[in-house]
A = this chain, B = another copy of it.
Amino acid sequence: MKRITLKHIAQEFNVSIATVSKSLHDSHEISTATKNKIQAFARKHHYRPNNLARSLVNKRTKTLGVIIPNIMNNFFAKVFVGIEEVAASRGYNLISCISNESYSKEVKTMELLKNGTLDGFVLSLSEETQIRQSYDHLKHAIEQGVSIVLFDRVTEEVQCDKVTVDDLEGAHRATSHLIKSGCKRIAVISILDNISVGKLRVEGYKKALLESGREVEEKLIVRIGKEEDFETAMKFVLSDKNIDALLCLEESSAIRSLVLLKQMNYRIPEEMSMICFTNGELPKYVSPSITTISQHGKSVGEISARLLIDRIEEDKEEAPYQTKTIKTSLIERESTRPLS
C-alpha cells in the first residue's frame, strides 16, 4: 500500500486539493461537515503530509545538521544528547555526521547539506580544520544564509553564535587545586595541542602557576603527537623524578598514564597526583579514580541547540552574535590529595 496524498483524498470526495489541505489544517474557511469527513478519512488512511513538498514551499525544513568530530568521545556524546533533547522538544530533526577529525569530511558534509535540506548547523571543528585554519566552508554557508552555531572547538575567524567551555578557567582551577594540595612540579600532558581547547588549557595552567609565584617550565608541557608512541613519551617525562603531578588535557592520556604509573609502582596521589579533563565513566571507575574537570557536555549541547533554533525561528538573522561560555567544575576523587 503506497502513501496517500492530498490528491487522493480530493478525488475521493470530489473536492479540490485546496479544500483538503485547508480541512486538514482545520481552517475556518471550511465547513465543519467537510472538515470532519476529510479528517476522518485522512486519519483512517494514515495520511501523512509529505515533508519534502511542505519544506519546498515553506523554505523551512525543521531539520538541523550536527557535525561532531568523534562520537566515541564522552564529551561529544553528551553534547549530542543535549542537542537531541532540545531539538526534539522544539520539533526539529537532526541530520548527524561524524567528521572523524577530518577536514574534508567536514567540508563535504557541509557542502552536501547546505542545499535546502537544513535550517542550520551545530558543529565542533575537526582537528584537521583547526590545524589548516581553513574556514571557508563555514563562511560560505553563513553568506548563503545558513545559520551556524559552533561549540567547544571554535574560531575567531568565523562570525556566528558560539558556545564554549571555559577551558582556560578549567585548567586554571585544576592547576590551582594541585598546587593547593601540595604539588610542587606539575606536568601537562597534551595530545590536543592542535586544537583551540588544548591551547586554552595550557594557558590556564600557566596562569595558575604564575599566580602562585611559580615559573613556567616549558619542558613540563608535554605535547604528544598522534604518530609518537605514547608510552615511550610518557616514560621519558617520568624520568624527571621531581614531577609530582599530571594535568592531562583529556581522558585517554589520563587513563593510559594511570596504567603506566601503576606498572611503575607509583603511589597515587602521594607520589603522583592527577587531574584530567572530560568527566566520563572511565575516570570515575578506574582505580584510583581520577579527579576530573567536568565540561558539562549536555548543557553545551542544549544551549547550542537553543541558540540555533532561536536564531532560525525568530528571524533574528541580523541579531548580534553571541558567545556563551560554560564554566567547568572540579570533581574530586582519589587521584588528588584532599585540601585538608
Q: Which stretch in A95-103, A303-311, A330-338 binds the other chain?
A: A95-103
**Per-residue contact bits, chain A 42-81, to B (CB 8 Å; 1 contact, 0 not):** 0000101111110110000101000000011010011011
Interface centre among A98, A112, A116, A258 (most CB of B within 10 A): A116
Complex CA gap A213/B206 in Å reads 65
Question: Residue A94 contacts which of B2, B53, B56, B96 (CB distance < 8 angstroms)?
Answer: B96
Render A17-38 as a binary contact track against B, CB cut-off 8 A, 1 for contact: 0000000000000000000000
**Chain B residues closer than 8 Å to A55, beta-carbon distance:** 52
A123 → chain B, closest Cβ, in Å? Answer: 15
Q: Which of A179-187, A194-202, A220-228, A282-290 is the contact stretch? A: A282-290
| Residue contact A52 to B46, C-beta cutoff 8 Å | no
Number of interface residues of A (CB under 8 A): 50
- Interface contact A144-B286, CB-CB below 8 Å: no
User: CA A52 – CA B78 in complex, angstroms?
Assistant: 31
Q: Taking CB as reference atom, which chain B residue is nearest A251?
A: B281
Q: Is the CB of A51 within 8 A of B286?
A: no
- The contact string, 1 if C-beta is below 8 Å from chain B, for chain A 78-99, is 1011001000100001111110
For the complex, give the distance between the alpha carbons of A97 and B94 in Å: 7
Q: Produce 1/0 per residue, A298-330, CB < 8 A to B.
A: 000000000000000000000000000000000
Q: Given contacts A97-B93, A98-B81, are A48 and B111 in contact (CB under 8 A)? A: yes
The CA-CA distance from A39 to B55 in the complex, in Å, is 27
Q: Is A264 an interface residue (CB 8 A)?
A: no
Given contacts A50-B116, A71-B71, 8 further A-B contacts (CB under 8 A): A48-B114, A72-B78, A84-B98, A94-B96, A94-B97, A95-B95, A282-B282, A282-B285
A contact set with B: CB distance below 8 Å: 1-3, 46, 48-53, 55-56, 61, 63, 71-72, 74, 77-78, 80-81, 84, 88, 93-98, 105, 111-117, 140, 143-145, 255, 258-259, 262, 281-282, 285-287
